[in-house]
């Protein structure tokens, strides 16, 4: 006989709404959902466990007296139009928590190995001259147009590598942890920064286009330069109200596309898409960033810019939705997901017996010793573990 569980209907509705999955879609998996949420019927324990897992909600939350108030553990700079976004999905929350766990581990590792604080962290202040801040970034990161390679993938890799060299842990992934069924939504967030003088972390939403990821990475590097943490949507279409976000956008844009470099550009509005694409390919940034810089340089009125931006954004989103393909070779993508610097450090620490296999596997996102050894070999890190 199945055991029914007394659970508050409000908690069930909260878990469903928190997941962001439409009611009809949830009800197709759980036909008694309406009865559960109205209190006419109680789920069995097995049904409740399946429901919690499907909604990505800790089952313990469903036994609370009232829905918990979940807040991001770092400042939230995301906006919808000009209004701040108050809700964070389970995908975003879990991604931030996982990156914080990795950061905590690496901070301890850095202390044990007597690593020095990273000079770049906290070297900026909001309001300093944008061109000066951009020049400091260029000096620290060596990412001028001639140093960006031949395509966006190469440019992104080079910027990640230069950030890694100065001590920043850059993690790029389009999924939650290692769960390929939980794809991150770039419309919810594009990246976040977790500042720390020993273990600064930047996470980039890998579902976004490579070109867009480059701007997001530059934006988050400015946050690290400020010594600030935060989650961003990096919206170039609006003049954001938050002073810090506005300044970070300005510095990142100047770092990637100095206004002085496009003063002589000629804009043919009858063939704008082709022109944006050409210039974007030259400087290895997104067409949306190019469009914003042209506006900053005075090529568009605000009304013209907003209309052009909306049209180009729709084109980019359509392109993203049409993309398909696998995630590539695991041993190439995994160091990108967790940061090459982090992966090498935790592999070596585990091989030396300083970190438990269980903890290393959890933070790296797999369960097998053979996978660990293959990744170690791919990174050229130490000796293989025995099974």
pLDDT tens across the length of the chain (387 residues): 678 899 999 999 999 999 989 999 999 999 999 999 999 999 999 999 999 999 999 999 999 999 998 889 999 988 755 556 668 899 999 999 999 999 999 999 999 999 999 999 999 999 999 999 999 999 999 898 888 888 889 999 999 999 999 999 999 999 999 899 999 998 899 999 999 999 999 999 999 889 889 999 999 999 999 999 999 877 676 667 788 998 999 999 999 999 888 877 777 777 888 888 888 888 888 899 989 899 888 888 889 888 888 888 888 877 766 665 555 677 778 889 999 999 999 999 999 999 999 999 999 998 889 889 898 998 887 666 655
The encoded tokens of residue 75 equal 């400042």
Residue 321 is assigned to a structural domain of this protein: no
Whether residues 32 and 141 fall in one domain = no
Whether residues 250 and 364 fall in one domain = no
The structure tokens 């989650």 sit at: 231
Whether residues 120 and 223 fall in one domain = yes
Q: Which of residues 256, 275, 296 is at a domain's end?
A: 256
**CA distance readout (Å), 271 to 177, 267, 311, 325:** 42, 8, 13, 30
Residue 187 has what DSSP assignment?
T
Q: Which of helix, strand or coil describes residue 79?
A: strand
What per-residue string of b and e applies to 181-200 under the rule 16 or more CB within 10 Å gives b?
A: ebebebebbbbbbbbbbbbb
pLDDT of residue 271: 83
Residue 238 is assigned to a structural domain of this protein: yes
**How far apart are alpha carbons 273 and 250 in whole angstroms?**
23
Contacts of 348 (CB under 8 A, 6+ apart): 381, 382
Residue 342 is assigned to a structural domain of this protein: yes
pLDDT of residue 80: 58
Domain, as residue range, for 211: 79-256
Whether residues 125 and 156 fall in one domain = yes
**How far apart are alpha carbons 212 and 313 in whole angstroms?**
11
The encoded tokens of residue 51 equal 């429901």
Whether residues 112 and 242 fall in one domain = yes
Residue 133 is assigned to a structural domain of this protein: yes
**How far apart are alpha carbons 275 and 207 in whole angstroms?**
25
Q: Which of residues 210, 228, 256 is at a domain's end?
A: 256
The structure tokens 């390679």 sit at: 149
**How far apart are alpha carbons 384 and 387 in whole angstroms?**
9
**How far apart are alpha carbons 180 and 334 in whole angstroms?**
12
Whether residues 39 and 107 fall in one domain = no
Residue 38 is assigned to a structural domain of this protein: yes
Span 342-387, pLDDT tens digits: 999 999 999 999 999 999 999 999 888 988 989 899 888 766 665 5
Whether residues 113 and 201 fall in one domain = yes
Q: Phi and psi of 172, rounded to 5°?
A: -125, 120
**How far apart are alpha carbons 125 and 222 in whole angstroms?**
10
**How far apart are alpha carbons 263 and 119 in whole angstroms?**
33
Q: Which of residues 227, 256, 285 is at a domain's end?
A: 256
Whether residues 59 and 86 fall in one domain = no
Residue 219 is assigned to a structural domain of this protein: yes
Sign of the CA dihedral running 139, 144, 149, 155: positive
Would you tell me the crossing angle of helices 90-112 and 340-351 to the nearest 10 degrees? 60
pLDDT of residue 252: 95
pLDDT of residue 85: 65
Q: Which of 98, 163, 122 is nearest to 338 (CA)?
A: 98
Q: Which of 306, 301, 299, 311 is nearest to 263 (CA)?
A: 299
Question: Can you give the pTM of this predicted structure?
Answer: 0.89
- How many structural domains are present in the chain? 3
The encoded tokens of residue 230 equal 């935060």
How far is C-alpha 8 from the geometric centre of its chain's CA atoms? 34
Whether residues 99 and 169 fall in one domain = yes
DSSP-assigned letters across all residues of 217-247: HHHHHHHHHHT--EEE----SS--S-HHHHH
Whether residues 59 and 98 fall in one domain = no
Whether residues 51 and 152 fall in one domain = no
Residue 33 is assigned to a structural domain of this protein: yes
Residue 363 is assigned to a structural domain of this protein: yes
Whether residues 124 and 28 fall in one domain = no
Residue 263 has what DSSP assignment?
T
């Amino acid at each position: 006989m199945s055991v029914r569980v007394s659970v508050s209907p409000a908690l069930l509705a909260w878990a469903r709404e928190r997941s962001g999955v439409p009611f009809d879609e949830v009800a197709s998996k759980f036909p008694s959902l309406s009865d559960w949420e109205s209190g006419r019927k109680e789920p069995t324990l097995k049904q409740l466990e399946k429901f919690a897992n499907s909604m990505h909600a800790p089952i313990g939350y469903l036994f609370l007296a009232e829905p918990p108030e979940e807040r991001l553990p770092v400042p939230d700079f995301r906006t919808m139009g000009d209004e701040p976004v108050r809700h964070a999905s389970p995908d975003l929350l879990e991604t931030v928590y996982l990156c914080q766990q990795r950061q905590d581990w690496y901070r301890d590792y850095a202390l044990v190995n007597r690593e020095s604080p990273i000079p770049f962290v906290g070297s900026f202040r909001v309001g300093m001259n944008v061109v000066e801040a951009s020049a400091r970034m260029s000096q620290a990161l060596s990412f001028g147009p001639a140093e960006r390679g031949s395509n966006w993938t190469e440019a992104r890799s080079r910027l990640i590598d230069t950030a890694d060299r100065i001590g920043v842990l850059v993690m790029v992934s389009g999924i939650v942890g290692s769960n390929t069924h939980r794809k991150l939504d770039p419309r919810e967030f594009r990246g976040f920064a977790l500042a720390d003088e020993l273990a600064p972390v930047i996470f980039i939403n890998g579902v976004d286009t490579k070109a867009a990821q480059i701007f997001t990475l530059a934006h988050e590097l400015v946050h690290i330069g400020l010594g600030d943490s935060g989650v961003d949507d990096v919206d170039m279409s609006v003049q954001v109200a938050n002073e810090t976000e506005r300044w970070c956008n300005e510095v990142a844009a100047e770092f990637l596309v100095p206004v002085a470099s496009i003063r002589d550009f000629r804009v043919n509005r009858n063939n704008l898409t082709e022109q944006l694409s050409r210039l974007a390919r030259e400087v290895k940034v997104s067409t949306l960033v190019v469009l914003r810089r042209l506006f900053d340089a005075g090529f568009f009125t605000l009304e013209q810019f907003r209309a052009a931006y909306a049209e180009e954004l729709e084109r980019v989103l359509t392109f993203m939705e049409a993309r398909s393909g696998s995630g590539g070779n695991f041993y190439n993508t995994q160091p990108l997901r967790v940061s090459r610097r982090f992966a090498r450090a935790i592999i070596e620490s585990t091989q030396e017996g300083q970190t438990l296999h269980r903890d290393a596997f959890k933070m790296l996102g797999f369960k097998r010793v053979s996978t660990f050894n293959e990744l170690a070999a791919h990174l050229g890190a130490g000796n293989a573990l025995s099974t």
